[in-house]
Amino acid sequence: MFAILLFALPAGAATWTVRAQPARLLNGAPVLFQVKTPARFDSLSGTWLGHHIDFSFDASTRTWFALAGVSLETAPGKYTLALTGARAAAKASLTFTRVFMVARATYPKIKVELTVEKKFTEPTPEQQQQIKEGQQVKQDYLNRITPDREWSGTFATPAVAPISDVFGSQRIFNGKAQSPHLGLDFRVRAGTPVVAMNSGTVLLARPLYFEGNLVVIDHGQGLLTLYLHLSEFKVKEGDVVKRADVIGLSGGTGRATGPHLHVAVRWQGVNLDPQRLMQLQLP
């Protein structure tokens, strides 16, 4: 293990430069941290809101970068990003902290009345067992953190279609209030090609009770994208995909009022706004 030593820097050495994109951090939103260090390191890691982050190095700009996020439940306030740069040969490391302000995002307050099949609001004992099995699958798979980053560059839109519902909106099914909408909906016809938002490995490609035919892509380091209600799979679990590869066809399977594509983003178990992820300019 590296000793936690503050090794001496030469006089006039550069200081740490830490930036976030977007500059204004919001609850429920992803963030790209970019760091220029005052010394040459073999690795850079950090902690943010209780999560561990491994940074990648961009040699062309001599900048370290990592994707992270802020949960929807995070209260407005000041939060610390703690960084540790390590040198293997010197068996030493250098630490730095930077405080960021998190603001409260404004999410739609409009309540959408939706009617779905009774089995989704009043399931039978047999259906409850199917729901329980699906919950176990999600527990087993959706909190996995693989060490290597697979994504590269900006995230693509998964379908060419208008957006019909946004992240964070309140929804009501058959008169019963549900949790906030934790994804982004596209108004697509059944059979529309759905593409991978970025490079990664197919973690799940199977039907679940509420999600219908579901594809989950692992982009590495805890970042997942989920594609729900598909009518057909075009990939299988374990497949390696690239950005814009077709992974399935849209549909209305699972708890859906009709054909549409629901896309979700999770980072280390935290739900993030897919629309904000696509807006980030990523290396």
Instruction: Give the CATH number, domain containing residue 41.
Output: 2.60.40.10
Tokens of 90: 């010197």
The string of DSSP codes covering 255-266 is S-SSSBEEEEEE
Lowest mean pLDDT among 73-82, 148-157, 171-180: 171-180
* Backbone angles phi and psi of 93, in degrees to 5: -145, 160
Domain that holds residue 166: 111-276
Same domain for 187 and 65: no
Same domain for 98 and 123: no
- Mean pLDDT over 67-85 rounds to 97
59 domain residue, yes or no: yes
Distance, in Å, from the CA atom of 208 to the CA atom of 151, rounded to the nearest integer, reads 26
- Angle subtended at Cα 265 by Cα 261 and Cα 271, rounded to the nearest 5 degrees: 120
Please identify, among 103, 119, 152, the residue that sits at the C-terminal boundary of a domain: 103
Instruction: Output the pLDDT for position 274.
Output: 97
Per-residue pLDDT of 185-233, as tens digits, reads 999 999 999 999 999 999 999 999 889 999 999 999 999 999 999 999 9
Same domain for 194 and 226: yes
Same domain for 119 and 70: no
pLDDT at residue 258 above 60?
Answer: yes
Same domain for 144 and 83: no
| Average pLDDT of the chain, as a whole number | 89
Same domain for 145 and 77: no
- Mean pLDDT over 235-264 rounds to 95
- Distance from CA of residue 68 to its chain's centroid? 8
What share of the chain has pLDDT > 90, as a percent?
A: 71
Query: Would you say how long the chain is, in residues?
Result: 283
Q: How many domains does the chain have?
A: 2
Instruction: Output the pLDDT for position 134.
Output: 84
213 domain residue, yes or no: yes
70 domain residue, yes or no: yes
4 domain residue, yes or no: no
Q: Classify the C-alpha dihedral 230-267-67-265 as positive or negative.
A: positive
